[in-house]
């Protein structure tokens, strides 16, 4: 069975980190599991951790009275959930809920922030990787807003 170090070394988010940085990451990592329907975090709560998803599917949601839960995006194996731990005010902006049984590695945000303050190389590496994820999510959200599958047609104008 793979240990946490191997899992982190192979996950797309942390792949390529040097051994020293991986070791620092490992010190803040815990294996976690969520049953389908379980909450990972709620909007407004303190964002004290983030998740590296190993298996399963997580919905990023927001709740609106009268409309219920609105899923903005789903993420799964190979993805990262959460970047609010890195930037003030360190509060979740959306809800996270396991859609299926989800296995992940939880990383303690406060623990990592302290290590990043001490080790700026680690901070730069993590910020670069989180920024890549944020950029992908932003591009995805913009495309969703464009409603690209709408009713326009060049074949029958």
**Which residue in 64, 65, 128, 156 binds another protein (CB under 8 A)?**
156
Tell me if the bond preceding 89 is cis, omega within 30° of 0: yes
Q: Contact between 43 and another protein (CB under 8 A)?
A: no
Q: Sketch the per residue contact string, 66 through 85, with another protein: x for CB under 8 A, - otherwise.
A: --xxxxxxxxxxx-------
Angle between helices 120-146 and 109-118 (to 10 degrees): 130
Strand partners, 41: 96
30 or 71, CB closer to another protein?
Answer: 71
Q: Sketch the per residue contact string, 102 through 131, with another protein: x for CB under 8 A, - otherwise.
A: ------------------------------
For the chain, the helix, strand and coil percentages under 3-state DSSP, each to the nearest 5: 35, 30, 35
Contact between 29 and 4 under an 8 Å Cβ cutoff? The reply is yes
Q: How far is the CB of 145 from another protein (least distance, A)?
A: 9
Burial of 46 (0-12, 13-18, 19+ CB in 10 A): middle
Q: Contact between 146 and another protein (CB under 8 A)?
A: yes
Q: Contact between 155 and another protein (CB under 8 A)?
A: yes
| Token couple for 110 | 């406060």
31 or 132, CB closer to another protein?
Answer: 132
> Site residues (CB under 8 A) for another protein?
12, 57, 59, 68-78, 99, 136, 139-140, 143-144, 146-157
């Amino acid at each position: 069975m793979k240990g946490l170090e191997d899992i982190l070394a192979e996950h797309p988010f942390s792949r390529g980190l040097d051994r020293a940085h991986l070791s620092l990451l490992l010190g803040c990592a815990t294996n976690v599991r969520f049953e389908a329907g379980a909450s990972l975090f709620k909007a407004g709560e303190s964002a004290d951790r983030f998740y590296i998803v190993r298996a399963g599917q997580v919905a990023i949601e927001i709740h609106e009275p009268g409309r219920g839960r609105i899923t903005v995006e789903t993420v799964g194996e190979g993805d990262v959930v959460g970047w609010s731990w890195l930037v003030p005010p360190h509060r979740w902006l959306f809800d996270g809920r396991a859609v299926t049984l989800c296995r992940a590695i939880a990383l303690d945000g406060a623990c990592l922030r302290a290590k990043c303050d001490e080790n700026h190389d680690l901070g730069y590496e993590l910020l670069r990787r989180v920024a890549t994820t944020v950029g992908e999510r932003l591009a995805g959200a913009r495309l969703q807003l464009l409603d690209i599958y709408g009713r326009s047609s060049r074949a029958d104008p």
